[in-house]
Amino acid sequence: MVVCLILGMGIPTIPNYIITSSLAAPALLKLGVPLIVSHMFVFYFGIMADLTPPVALAAFAAAPIARESGMKIGFQAMRIAVAGFIIPFMAVYDPALMLQGGGLAAVAYVIFKTIVAIVLWGGAAIGFWVAPLNAFERIYAFVAACFLVSAAPWTDEVGFALTALLIVWHYLRTRAKPSLSSTA
């Protein structure tokens, strides 16, 4: 990941893929990652390099418009896109996310799991769902999402259980309280 982020900084898409696939993809292949998944992994992180400071092309282009530092915008962009840095790892652990192996049920399951993890990471990074999340809820959401990354069955069960508890907790904490003015 780090190698792809460094090699992809400031390079257009096609040369980015050529460089990262020739240098980083063979290492993933030796680790047993399927061919298409390893190439998509390095390509994805090579492209994400344009989002990360110090290069962050879009952030530095937006800086004069926003009258703000390009580095500050770049770090905000990384914070918002935190789930994007984790999804390729989910594809490595479960190639069904890249439609490799398994069947329709496996693909549907991993897509659902990925969407739940994205919602959890988004809440942890931004600090808001239906209402603002407190510090405990943000940390809890991050931990629950981390359990959903791996493809081990027990981690999925723990991640979904933690997610369900967090949803119930957040709902109960933020629901509207009935008014007392309606008494006769």
How many whole angstroms separate alpha carbon 146 and alpha carbon 33? 20
> In this structure, is residue 130 part of a structural domain?
yes
> In this structure, is residue 45 part of a structural domain?
no
Plot region of 123 (φ>0 → left; ψ -120 to 50 → alpha; else → beta) = alpha
Section 17-28 average pLDDT: 89
pLDDT band at 181; cut points 50, 70, 90? low
Tell whether pTM > 0.75.
yes
> Which of 6-15, 40-49, 127-136, 138-147 has the least mean pLDDT?
6-15
Structural domains counted in the chain: 1
> In this structure, is residue 104 part of a structural domain?
yes
CA distances from 105 to 101, 131, 154 (A): 11, 33, 18
> In this structure, is residue 38 part of a structural domain?
no
> In this structure, is residue 62 part of a structural domain?
no
> In this structure, is residue 126 part of a structural domain?
yes
* pLDDT over 70 (residue 177): no
Instruction: Quote the pLDDT of residue 164.
Output: 96
Structure tokens at 115: 């969407």
Question: Residue 134 is part of which domain span?
Answer: 97-175
> In this structure, is residue 57 part of a structural domain?
no
Rg (CA), the chain: 20
> In this structure, is residue 75 part of a structural domain?
no
Which amino acid, residue 11? I
**Per-residue pLDDT reduced to its tens digit, 62-102:** 889 999 998 898 888 888 888 888 888 888 888 888 888 77
* pLDDT over 80 (residue 123): yes
* pLDDT over 70 (residue 148): yes
Buried-exposed string 123-142: b where 16+ CB fall within 10 A, e elsewhere: bbbeeebeeebeeebbebbe
CB 114 within 8 A of CB 132: no
How many whole angstroms separate alpha carbon 101 and alpha carbon 95? 7
Q: What angle do CA 86, 147, 139 make, to 5 degrees?
A: 85
Q: Which residue has the higher pLDDT, 180 or 96?
A: 96
Section 48-65 average pLDDT: 84
* pLDDT over 70 (residue 117): yes
CB 81 within 8 A of CB 51: yes
Instruction: Quote the pLDDT of residue 119.
Output: 93
Structure tokens at 144: 């629950």
CB 34 within 8 A of CB 57: no
